Amino acid sequence: MSQAQPAPTSPPPTAPATDPAKPADIWEWFDEKFGRRQFLLQSGWAFFWVFLGGWLLSNLRYLFPNVLYEPSLSFKAGKPEDYPVGVSEKMKKTHRVWIVRTDKGFYSFWARCTHLGCTPNWFDTENRFKCPCHGSNFNRDGDVIAGPAPKPLWRCAIKLADDGQLLIDKARLENRGGAREKDDFFLPYAGA
């Protein structure tokens, strides 16, 4: 004899409770959590540490020298007997220099156009140097015969070293007519 138990009744549905600690709007919550003052304070510290890190790195960089490892402007180009009469491009790639042998001796050009510094090419059939960029043309003596180049090609100082090799010095240049055919810019060679 068991008694019938009444069926459990569920409580009536209620409206969802709002949490008084959490605002309904996300921006209000964000403003409460990270206010304007906190943002400015944290930004200030971040800029300070970035500045300090940059300053320390620049001081470390100062300890290491800025050194350019470039080839010497003065170099030996081999024995005079190695060069036939005419323009030799043997040193053009390595030292950017042409060595010209004539019946009377040697002279050397810096392979750099006097217009904008491009590297001209030697055309043996046309007997001239031509700049591929802007069309400057130079004759075998380095004089301008066409194009926008304002000056002749630069001649490099040339002499015989103690061991009998040609010594080219690109640190000493000349391109004035008359001066470039004398002294250090033309090497008379008896065996020519």
* Angle in degrees, CA 49, 55, 61, rounded to 5: 135
Determine, yes or no, domain membership for 107. Answer: yes
Residue 147 · residue 135 · CB < 8 Å = yes
Q: Which residue range(s) make up the domain with 40?
A: 26-62
Query: Sorting pLDDT into bands at 50, 70 and 90, what band is 6?
Result: low
Q: What is the CATH number of the domain that holds 110?
A: 2.102.10.10
DSSP state, residue 124:
T
Determine, yes or no, domain membership for 16. Answer: no
Determine, yes or no, domain membership for 69. Answer: no
Query: Sorting pLDDT into bands at 50, 70 and 90, what band is 37?
Result: confident
Give the model's pLDDT for residue 34. 76
pLDDT above 70 covers a percentage of the chain that reads 86
Same domain assignment for residues 180 and 112: yes
Q: Which two tokens stand for residue 130?
A: 């031509």
Measured CA to CA, the distance from residue 113 to residue 127 in angstroms comes to 17
Residue 26: is its pLDDT beyond 90? no
Same domain assignment for residues 57 and 86: no
Determine, yes or no, domain membership for 51. Answer: yes
pLDDT (mean) for 104-109: 88
pTM, to two decimals: 0.61
Look at the chain and report how many structural domains it folds into: 2
Residue 27: is its pLDDT beyond 80? no
pLDDT tens for each residue of 58-103 = 999 989 888 887 777 888 888 888 888 888 888 888 888 989 988 8
What three-state secondary structure class fits 188?
Answer: strand
Same domain assignment for residues 105 and 149: yes
Determine, yes or no, domain membership for 44. Answer: yes
Determine, yes or no, domain membership for 7. Answer: no
Measured CA to CA, the distance from residue 89 to residue 151 in angstroms comes to 22
Determine, yes or no, domain membership for 102. Answer: yes
Residue ranges with strand state E in the chain: 74-76, 86-88, 97-101, 105-110, 121-123, 128-130, 137-138, 144-146, 155-160, 166-174, 187-188
Give the model's pLDDT for residue 65. 85
